[in-house]
Amino acid sequence: MKNRKRRANDLLSSSNEMSFYPSRIQQHFDAPRNMGDLADADAIGDVGSLRCGAVMRLSIKIDAKTQTISDARFKTLGCGYLIACASVLTETVKDLPLSRAALLNEAALRDWFGGLPQEKAHCAVLAREALHAALADYHNARQEEWTGDEALICTCFGVSEKSIEGAIDKSALRTINQVTKACNAGGGCRSCHPLIEDILDDYWRNVSPKI
Amino acid sequence: MPDEIIYLDNNATTRVAPEVFEAMRPFLEGNLYGNPSSAHTFGRQVRRSVEEAREQVAAALGATDASEVVFTSCGSESDNWAIRGVLESAADKSHIITTRVEHEAVRILCERLEQRGHEVTWLAVDEEGLLDLEALRAALRPDTALCSVMLANNETGVLFPLAEIGRIVREHSRALFHVDGVQAVGKIPINVKELGVDLFSISGHKFHAPKGVGALYVRSGLKLSPFIIGGGQERGARAGTEAVPAIVALGRACRLAQEFEGHALIRRLRDQLEDTILETIPNARLNGTRDRERRLPNTSNISFEYVEGENILAGLDASGICVSTGSACNSERHEASAVLRAMNIPYTAARGSIRFSLSRYNTEREIAYTLSVLPGIINRLAEMSPYEEALGRRGEAGKS
């Protein structure tokens, strides 16, 4: 009888050791990194999933000089997987240049966990969407604040049309890649690539008669 | 973490009572392994025990005759057999009436029957989970074959007024009346005669018998097409060699339930748990009617608004407390339970719903311990929630 009791207890305790979530998820569920809000956030990304109904908010602080994310916090109404994705996301984007943050995708988060179950893959997508929403928020604010006379083309790096034209003129640039290398324009979210394309076209159309 | 698990998920399943285990033991390890259909001594011995169990089940249900009880493998089988059996026997009638808050065994089956051409009337519930009986009256038709309504809701514990429903069904139609009674047996007294039901499903593991055994009460005089065809067991009503140990256990569990005198304690512990949570946790709200006379005495379904139910579950689990949530995000789509949706519970509340369901084995100490850890878990999750304003936590924004 005693033996049987002990065996039952062993079974119970070994099942206790197994956490509710897989350990890499559980550690972030138990102790999420950077949970909360930033009182002086430069940008906020609020997103919700139509698929699962979870919501997440990412607040970021941006060092304008270095164009780098200096701090990040999250809040969420979502499952342990989303908490873990958000937690890892905030750790990943801290000290990351905006140009690289813009390129961060859900695969990077998935890989951090060594993959996510199919039904939880959308948690990583939602975390990435929160980041992109925060970056868009920052760019929109920049655009509104822009006081220069010329049009602002690359909002990620605050590069105006005039600066881009100047760079093209100076070094006879032909491609977007060359423009990015020369003046950073287009190195972030890439949403201005069609505009840079237009500027390149216009420039070379205007100069071609001289050749 | 406490040494022992605190099990507050008794609407999901229950532990096998020691008395029940002792009753079934000789049929597993002794000489009582005969086939009840055999004519020899071994068969006859076992046959007697099966019939004894049948009488125990009949007594617990208030059936007039033991022959009205047919053993099945589970509550879902009982539900499926009752509904399909009635439809098969009444080929001229194809209309079904049921509710939006039935257990899946009834709800999903009726959805499938609807897809295959049966007309189904889905009775709605209000925000308290209660039925509109006028709607039932209006839905009954000459071609209504069956009205299937549960006695006690598994998620909220809300009780439907079966006696009244049975009377309406009989007065306004020739439809048969099936009741999914799975969640009620052992928790409240049951009398199928007084309730006026034709078919009544029960499941052993919900009241301290093992999993894998159930029964269907079939009112005498009612001929139900068999669901499992084969040998003539159960007087031709259900083929398959009887699961003798489980059947004996079911009978013993029925007697145990009838003799149980501790209902008042379970009710008191549940009330204490529910009252304290609702009074002390600001974002807590009860799901299901506040009228405790119209709810099971062991069940509390409480939503913690703006926090995630799965995370509460995980938090309580880490403290050794087992509960369940009406919102598991384990599917492609995160869906609040059909029951809570039918009750129009706001999405942000349904998401944080937790069901506490007690049994005779819960103690005052366990409830006190649960009440001591729960606020901390909810508070931690509320801090994480982006709904600060709704949670009245605006002032805390900015703190890390």
Domain boundary residue, one of A144, A163, A195:
A144
Nearest CB to B386: which of A38, A57, A79? A57
pLDDT-derived band at A208 (thresholds 50, 70, 90) equals low
Q: Kindly state whether residues A124 and A96 are assigned to the same domain.
A: yes
| Residue numbers of B between 365 and 394 with CB closer than 8 Å to A | 383-388
Q: Kindly state whether residues A140 and A198 are assigned to the same domain.
A: no
Q: Kindly state whether residues A43 and A123 are assigned to the same domain.
A: yes
Residue A103 is assigned to a structural domain of this protein = yes
Q: Going residue by residue through chain B, which has 400 residues, state the pLDDT in tens, using 9 for 90 and above.
A: 456 899 999 999 999 999 999 999 999 998 899 999 999 999 999 999 999 999 999 999 999 999 999 999 999 999 999 999 999 988 889 999 999 999 999 999 999 999 999 999 999 999 999 999 999 999 999 999 999 999 999 999 999 999 999 999 999 999 999 999 999 999 999 999 999 999 999 999 999 999 999 999 999 999 999 999 999 899 999 999 999 999 999 999 999 999 999 999 999 999 999 999 999 999 999 999 999 999 999 999 999 999 999 999 999 999 999 999 987 665 455 567 899 999 999 988 999 999 999 999 999 999 999 999 999 999 999 999 999 888 887 544 444 3
Q: What confidence score (pLDDT) does residue A9 get?
A: 47
Helices (H), chain B: 18-24, 26-29, 41-61, 75-89, 104-115, 133-139, 162-172, 192-195, 244-259, 263-280, 309-318, 338-342, 347-350, 364-384, 388-391
With an 8 Å Cβ cutoff, is B319 touching chain A? no
Residue A3 is assigned to a structural domain of this protein = no
- Going from the C-alpha of B150 to that of each of B57, B90, B125, B201, B268, the distances in angstroms are 19, 22, 13, 9, 25
Residue A161 is assigned to a structural domain of this protein = yes
Q: What is the pLDDT of residues B176-218, one digit of tens each?
A: 999 999 999 999 999 999 999 999 999 999 999 999 999 999 9
* Residue B363, number of CB atoms within 10 A of its CB: 12
Residue A4 is assigned to a structural domain of this protein = no
Domain boundary residue, one of A144, A169, A195:
A144
Residue A44 is assigned to a structural domain of this protein = yes
Domain boundary residue, one of A105, A129, A144:
A144
Q: Kindly state whether residues A119 and A57 are assigned to the same domain.
A: yes
User: Which of B15, B308, B329 to substitute to test the interface with A, most A CBs within 10 Å?
Assistant: B329
Q: What confidence score (pLDDT) does residue B239 get?
A: 95
Nearest CA in chain A to B330: A119
Residue A80 is assigned to a structural domain of this protein = yes
Q: What confidence score (pLDDT) does residue B285 get?
A: 96
Distance (Å, whole) CA A158 – CA A174: 21
Please name the amino acid found at residue A113.
Answer: F
Q: Kindly state whether residues A41 and A137 are assigned to the same domain.
A: yes
Share of chain A above pLDDT 70, in %: 89
Distance (Å, whole) CA A12 – CA A21: 17
Helices (H), chain A: 2-17, 23-30, 80-93, 98-101, 106-112, 121-145, 161-171, 176-183, 193-207
User: Domain of A55: which CATH number?
Assistant: 3.90.1010.10
Interface touch A80/B310, C-beta < 8 Å: yes
With an 8 Å Cβ cutoff, is A46 touching chain B? yes
More confident residue, A142 or B235: B235
Give the range of the structural domain holding residue A126, as residue numbers without chain letter: 22-144
- What are A203's two structure tokens? 């420039």
Distance (Å, whole) CA A133 – CA B233: 66
| Residue numbers of A between 82 and 141 with CB closer than 8 Å to B | 83, 119
Work out how many domains chain A is built from and give that number. Answer: 2
Q: What confidence score (pLDDT) does residue A146 get?
A: 72
Q: Kindly state whether residues A26 and A108 are assigned to the same domain.
A: yes
**Whole-number average pLDDT of chain A:** 85
Catalytic residues of A, by residue number, are 52, 123
- What are B148's two structure tokens? 């299937």
Look up the pTM and report it.
0.86
Q: Kindly state whether residues A93 and A152 are assigned to the same domain.
A: no
Nearest CB to B311: which of A16, A75, A79? A79
Contacts of B308 in chain A (CB under 8 A): 54, 77-79
Q: Kindly state whether residues A59 and A126 are assigned to the same domain.
A: yes
Residue A174 is assigned to a structural domain of this protein = yes
Q: Kindly state whether residues A132 and A177 are assigned to the same domain.
A: no
- What are B388's two structure tokens? 């600060």
Q: Kindly state whether residues A41 and A133 are assigned to the same domain.
A: yes
- Residue B254 appears among annotated catalytic residues: no
Q: Kindly state whether residues A27 and A118 are assigned to the same domain.
A: yes
Ramachandran class of B344: left when φ > 0, alpha when ψ lies in -120 to 50, beta otherwise: left
Distance (Å, whole) CA B147 – CA B170: 10
Distance (Å, whole) CA A183 – CA A200: 14
In the predicted structure, residue A2 carries a pLDDT above the cut 60: no
Nearest CA in chain A to B314: A20
Contacts of B318 in chain A (CB under 8 A): 19-20, 30
Helices (H), B230-282: 244-259, 263-280
Tell me the helices (H) and strands (E) count for chain B, helix number first.
Answer: 15, 13
Name every residue whose Cβ is closer than 8 Å to that of residue B192 and which is 6 or more positions away in sequence.
B61, B62, B63, B179, B200, B217, B219
Contacts of B320 in chain A (CB under 8 A): 16
Q: Kindly state whether residues A125 and A157 are assigned to the same domain.
A: no
Q: What confidence score (pLDDT) does residue B253 get?
A: 98
Distance (Å, whole) CA B273 – CA B362: 12
Å between A140 CA and nearest CA of chain B: 22
Q: Are B355 and B299 in contact (CB under 8 A)?
A: yes
Interface touch B383/A35, C-beta < 8 Å: yes
Backbone torsions φ then ψ of B307, nearest 5 degrees: -125, 165
Residue A160 is assigned to a structural domain of this protein = yes
User: Domain of A200: which CATH number?
Assistant: 1.10.10.1100
In the predicted structure, residue A113 carries a pLDDT above the cut 50: yes
Interface touch A35/B400, C-beta < 8 Å: yes
* Contacts across the A-B interface (CB distance below 8 Å): 75
More confident residue, A157 or B56: B56
Q: Coil, strand, or helix at residue A200?
A: helix
Å between A98 CA and nearest CA of chain B: 23
